[in-house]
Amino acid sequence: MVSIQDSSPSFFENAQNIPVDAIFQVQKDFLADSDPKKVNLGPGAYRDENGKPWILPSVQMATTLVANCGHEYLPIAGSQVLREEAVKLVFNGTKLYSEGRIASCQALSGTGALYLAGSVLRKVDPTPKAVYITNPTWSNHDLLFSSLGFDVKYLPYYKDKTFDFEGYMSGLVTAPAGSIIILHSCAHNPTGCDPSKDEWKKIASVIQERHLFPIFDSAYLGFNSGSVNEDAWAIKYFVDELGLEASICLSFAKSMGLYGERTGLVTFVTKSPSQVQTMNSILENGQRATVSTPPRYGAEIAAAVLSTPEILEQWGKDLITMSSRIRSMREKLYEELVRLETPGDWSHIIKQTGMFGFTGISPAQINHLRAKHHIYMADTSRISIAGLNDSNFEYVAAAINDAARNIY
């Protein structure tokens, strides 16, 4: 029995319970399910053709190289090699790269990079600002930017199973000057619908005209198409072709399979090289106040991958392995749904790109898939295509077919 000696009111009297994070709850529910047929299409984590986590061959090679890296602190801004190599990876060949107009700081994967970017922007201009995110988007966007005190607003993004370009533009043109716009560089999470190059150009021109600040959430560079250069096309168009300032938030969780290592990088592209040192100092200050110094092991691995030519070459092959397996699973799921004559048009599954498929099935169908077939997915109807493999795609298609025919 607990004995309470202090009769003063609790400091936590007004504390309110916060619902658990939806996608991590899906993962927990999946793990608790003992059915052997269960399928996890929830969190975006790559699985190999046997449904197992995949340690990339390039990462295996790098791990041997860094086995004795020790446990000392990294500098506050993180591994110098990682910063230089990651910046080179994304910006090599651009004017801003040769002019040295890029501030950078290692960050705790994509979330940490976005958080640090937001906190730096608050510091450089504390006047209240709106952050525009897409509807729908990755659920953490709203949480992290509202935690930083920004007014989070939504832009329409998805209509008739595709990118709602008109809806998006009609919202974008109303954003007040100085607002921050969160862009998914590629493989939009959760819809898998990216703007075309022509649409990107129109988005960029509104951002330029209205003096809006773009933050690129770049969690999937290289993972989407198999080529970092191809996946970074929109970033380069904004910062190199148009010369805009921007923040690019990188994560190596998906592209190197370093999920638990929290390895990422935040960058700011500045107008002039003389601003880089100031922006680096603000990044360092923000880092010190939050994580102090970033984790070492993942940074050493990523730095070794990027800086060792033969490992870099292997990484290129690994990106192709992952992105092509995902593409082939999209096709197999789609073909099976068609073969079963599943009611509805499923062609969006093969038109989308990246790790996720936005199925568009109803909440009742999602519940049915989980309760009857032990298939787990996000409550937005997003499935992680990486959870499909040759042993389960027919089972999943049959279950979707059952839900589409019998549950409304």
Select the residue interacting with ligand LMR from 33, 43, 48, 335 (CB under 6 A): 43
Instruction: Give the nearest distance from C-beta 218 to ligand LMR in angstroms.
Output: 13
Of the pair 213, 252, the CB lying nearest ligand LMR is at 252
Pairing of strands 39-40, 375-376: parallel
Residue 252 and residue 263: Cα distance in Å, rounded? 6
Residue 190 and residue 204: Cα distance in Å, rounded? 22
Of the pair 138, 168, the CB lying nearest ligand LMR is at 138
Contact 37, 374 (CB under 8 A): yes
Instruction: Give the nearest distance from C-beta 189 to ligand LMR in angstroms.
Output: 5
Q: Which of 252, 384, 255 is nearest to 321 (CA)?
A: 255
Q: Which candidate in 194, 217, 231, 318 is catalytic?
A: 217
Number of Cβ within 10 Å of residue 182's Cβ equals 24
Instruction: Give the nearest distance from C-beta 229 to ligand LMR in angstroms.
Output: 23
Of the pair 66, 385, the CB lying nearest ligand LMR is at 385
Q: How many helices (H) and strands (E) does the chain have?
A: 16, 13
Compute the half-sphere exposure of residue 315: CA atoms within 13 Å on the CB side of its CA.
27
Instruction: Give the nearest distance from C-beta 158 to ligand LMR in angstroms.
Output: 16
Residues 17-36, one symbol each (x = binds ligand LMR by CB under 6 A, - = not), give ------x-------------
**138 lies in the binding site for ligand LMR (CB under 6 A):** yes
Of the pair 251, 401, the CB lying nearest ligand LMR is at 251
- Interacting residues with ligand LMR between 55 and 114 (CB under 6 A): none
**137 lies in the binding site for ligand LMR (CB under 6 A):** no
Q: Which candidate in 54, 129, 138, 346 is catalytic?
A: 138
Instruction: Give the nearest distance from C-beta 44 to ligand LMR in angstroms.
Output: 4
**192 lies in the binding site for ligand LMR (CB under 6 A):** no
Q: Catalytic annotation on 346?
A: no
**189 lies in the binding site for ligand LMR (CB under 6 A):** yes
Q: Which of 274, 370, 232, 183 is nearest to 378 (CA)?
A: 370
**255 lies in the binding site for ligand LMR (CB under 6 A):** no
Residue 36 phi, psi (nearest 5) = -65, -20
Q: Catalytic annotation on 125?
A: no
**44 lies in the binding site for ligand LMR (CB under 6 A):** yes
Q: Which candidate in 54, 231, 254, 315 is catalytic?
A: 254
Interface size with ligand LMR, residues (CB under 6 A): 6
Three-class secondary structure of residue 217 per DSSP: strand
Instruction: Give the nearest distance from C-beta 320 to ligand LMR in angstroms.
Output: 21
Torsion over CA: 232, 235, 241, 243 (sign): negative
On the question of a cis peptide bond just before residue 53, with omega within 30 degrees of 0, the verdict is no
Contact 301, 316 (CB under 8 A): no
Q: Catalytic annotation on 95?
A: no
Residue 375 and residue 45: Cα distance in Å, rounded? 16
Q: Which of 295, 269, 234, 292 is nearest to 109 (CA)?
A: 295
Q: Which residues bind ligand LMR (CB under 6 A)?
A: 23, 43-44, 138, 140, 189
Residues acting as catalytic residues: 138, 217, 254
